[in-house]
Amino acid sequence: MQVEIIGANSALAEEGLNSSLLIRGGDHVILADCGYNIYPRLQLLDYVEDITAVLLSHLHQDHCGSAVTLLEDIVLTQKRSVYIGGTDWTPLLHACEEPGFISQLMTDNYPFDLETFSVPHGKGMDCRALFIGGKILYSGDTAISLLDTPQAQKASLIVHDATLHCGIPHAYLKDMANAPAEIKAKTILTHYLPQNYKKMAEAAREYGFKGVARAGDVFEV
């Protein structure tokens, strides 16, 4: 499988793209999260026609803000059906009443391996970590480190949100640093403000993480 980082930044970044990954494996091209500036980026990269599944960790705008537009392009323009999953999409789909749209969205019997599990984040917000293909763990947004989960043990690559500051609903980097060295060595940090990249990269090096995600990075797993 191949993982491409489409975006690695948090909401409110003046420049930079929302956290999002594209996973290519077998016959499937799976997008994990599609925040408000991701669909235009996918168009620019010419990737929209490749996408067969869209998974969302949760319904904050920096994770779902252009997802319905992407689906409308795939279903209404390209006339394809598409798998969707992760958190419950129902509130988003109320926004699109185009006849036939909902019927082309496939929500189960996935032809790829997908496990999701609930993680704490915003109050009242269903937020799901995504474990894809039995190899890639994507945290979405989580207030706690997922590096002690069985999925982290099994994963070949972990893409995990991280914050330098304690007290906001993202995993605190210093807590994540308590994980075993072999887990940190396969963990890429994401969801940061662009101006914090240098500090994140220094901390990642100091604590023994694999690195800090940047748009365009590609990993073979």
Provide the binding-site residues for Zn ion, judged by CB under 5 A: 60, 141
| CB closer to Zn ion, 59 vs 212 | 59
| CB closer to Zn ion, 1 vs 159 | 159
| CB closer to Zn ion, 33 vs 73 | 33
To the nearest whole angstrom, how small is the minimum distance from the Cβ of residue 26 to Zn ion? 30
To the nearest whole angstrom, how small is the minimum distance from the Cβ of residue 85 to Zn ion? 18
CA angle 54, 155, 199 (to 5 degrees): 85
To the nearest whole angstrom, how small is the minimum distance from the Cβ of residue 92 to Zn ion? 14
Please state, in angstroms and rounded to a whole number, the distance separating the CA atoms of residues 13 and 217: 19
To the nearest whole angstrom, how small is the minimum distance from the Cβ of residue 28 to Zn ion? 25
| CB closer to Zn ion, 81 vs 118 | 118
Position 170, amino acid: H
CB 126 within 8 A of CB 118: yes
Residue with tokens 């394809």: 80
To the nearest whole angstrom, how small is the minimum distance from the Cβ of residue 208 to Zn ion? 26
Please state, in angstroms and rounded to a whole number, the distance separating the CA atoms of residues 161 and 181: 18
| CB closer to Zn ion, 111 vs 122 | 122
| CB closer to Zn ion, 38 vs 74 | 38
To the nearest whole angstrom, how small is the minimum distance from the Cβ of residue 60 to Zn ion? 3
CA angle 101, 104, 108 (to 5 degrees): 130
Please state, in angstroms and rounded to a whole number, the distance separating the CA atoms of residues 57 and 138: 9
Buried b (16+ CB within 10 A) or exposed e, 53-84: bbbbbbbbebbbbbbbbbbbbbbeeeeeebbb
Question: SS3 for 74?
Answer: helix
Please state, in angstroms and rounded to a whole number, the distance separating the CA atoms of residues 126 and 119: 8
